[in-house]
Chain A
């Protein structure tokens, strides 16, 4: 068996399509088919259901897929461990981010300043993903409570406040009461968003059923709409601060403390590389010493 067989096999299994997988490897389809055929011949079983262009794993394929992922990870991990052991750290540290799009560049910049030799790759996700299903070493994500998940740690408790336009009369205040909020129109995230669910929970607890001005899941859009006084929005403090929007005021909510949590998670199986350890330590310190700009 060759590792290349397994790499092609995994990609085909994930794309359900030979030509798509081939295109991603920059090879012709027949090359990929041949590798898959060789693999099937060597193992003496078929691995896929074939139906026109669509091919899906059969029971044998599912068995091989699970083990093939483990096998490639074992080899990848041993390369990293040897690199760590010889103090080289010459591999790529892959970080998945599912939160704080505005702040991540600052964090990366800061990390690069301290560890210029560690190669980084950042992969963005829109939502929480299971890190074990990816090739990523670390995952940054937010949640509505401190994490209890294994191999993860909460690194920041982020306040949620009310963003209002400078033109809004509330902008002259420092804080806002539940009663005042109840009278505003809200620009809200859609039901697909974890943040929407979290803020709905807080609003329900306050007995507020907000009037919706607009729904958007695109943060720059939300900021723009708030700035032009189309409505107010509940926003996490860092998201707001690093957006550096002018014409927006961020008000503390007086009746209740609203928070969300920023967490870092690493893979539950396999070797945690030195670079990953360094990054976890670094980002923990980063948030501990984070000074919020005025």
Chain B
């Protein structure tokens, strides 16, 4: 049985007239007769009682007509549900977070004020998941150097600073990173790009840091610093902790440690309208970061 045969049968059954049905279906009358014959042969039962000039649906035909109606509804439902899902997916932006700059929630908040019906889904990157299996629109990442990828936009640049307890001898000074050589360090775990940026900066300063603790949570890291467990190299702005009591931020004059936050987009599918809006928004931010950054205050 084929779905098209069912559709043809349905028309013939509703009209109980082959010629009229064939006309409405824009078919030759023998073609329709043949379709119905094929169906009857496959089912091994007649669907119509044939009288001289007309046809009348019989009990079997009524069963098949009900089925054809249900099948038609089911097909329509498939289209509706897929459309609805498409709409939902179009209004959702999925971000895969390889870096977690605190300014991201601010950006999303500002974006959502403009586009309240677009929602976000955030996946936290972790090395145990296969990235190619994930469905996402954008990756948020950071690096010591601007991304050269043509499918990426560098949208925020800041200095890396040393976060130290406020009573620490380095507090209030501008230092070379090499001066912190003997310190205990606290770092993000290795699945975060900042971890590698940190190691890279230390390598450039000529030492390998002694890491006493790794934590993926910014608050924990800063809390540990405040508790004098160690110090950390952190982004000066995007973590948003400038006004935290008990912590001092120390400018690093060499090497120049930069943190560059960038957005790269998934090239496996084209960007939805919502994604394009988000990209435009981020690009505006890159050109005029002040509006959103004001509450953070530069150190």
Contacts and interface: CB of A to CB of B under 8 A. Distances in A.
Contact of B75 (A1, A63, A79, A85): A1
A43 interface: yes
A248 to B, nearest CB: 50
B67 A77 contact: yes
B284 interface: no
B3 A90 contact: no
Given A2-B2, A49-B133, A86-B45, A71 B75 contact: yes
B74 interface: yes
A167 B281 CA distance: 86
Contact of B67 (A64, A75, A88): A75
A64 B44 contact: no
Interface residues of A, number: 29
B85 interface: yes
Contact of A78 (B3, B67, B130): B67
B43 A79 contact: yes
Given A71-B75, A74-B71, 19 more contacts: A1-B75, A2-B2, A3-B3, A43-B78, A43-B79, A51-B130, A58-B135, A60-B85, A63-B81, A64-B82, A67-B77, A67-B78, A71-B71, A82-B45, A82-B63, A82-B64, A85-B60, A86-B45, A90-B44
A82 B71 contact: no
Interface in B54-83: 59-60, 63-64, 66-67, 70-71, 74-75, 77-79, 81-82
B129 to A, nearest CB: 12
Contact of A51 (B71, B78, B133): B133
B1 interface: yes
A75 B71 contact: yes
Given A45-B82, A85-B45, A51 B132 contact: yes
Contacts of B3: 1-3
Contacts, number: 73
B215 interface: no
A59 interface: yes
Contacts of A70: 74
> Interface on chain A toward B: helix, strand, loop, or mixed SS?
helix
Contacts of A3: 1-3
Of the candidates A43, A51, A71, the one having the most CB atoms from chain B within 10 angstroms of its own CB is A71
Interface in B75-110: 75, 77-79, 81-82, 85-86, 89
Nearest to B59: A85
B64 A67 contact: no
A64 B71 contact: no
Contact of A88 (B45, B85, B86, B132): B45
Interface of B: 1-3, 6, 43-45, 59-60, 63-64, 66-67, 70-71, 74-75, 77-79, 81-82, 85-86, 89, 130, 132-133, 135
B135 A49 contact: yes
A78 B63 CA distance: 6
Interface of A: 1-3, 43-45, 49, 51, 58-60, 63-64, 67-68, 70-71, 74-75, 77-79, 81-83, 85-86, 88, 90
Nearest to A71: B74
A83 B43 CA distance: 7
A200 B86 CA distance: 51
Nearest to A90: B44
Nearest to A79: B43
A70 B130 CA distance: 33
Contacts of B82: 43-45, 60, 63-64
Enumerate the 6 nearest inter-chain pairs by beta-carbon distance, A residue then B residue, closest first: A78-B67, A86-B45, A82-B60, A63-B81, A67-B78, A71-B74
B268 to A, nearest CB: 10
Nearest to A6: B3
A147 B283 CA distance: 63
Contacts of A71: 71, 74-75
20 contacts: A1-B3, A2-B2, A3-B1, A51-B130, A51-B133, A60-B85, A60-B86, A63-B81, A63-B82, A67-B74, A67-B77, A71-B74, A78-B64, A79-B43, A82-B43, A82-B60, A83-B43, A83-B44, A85-B63, A86-B45
A77 B67 CA distance: 9
Contacts of A81: 63
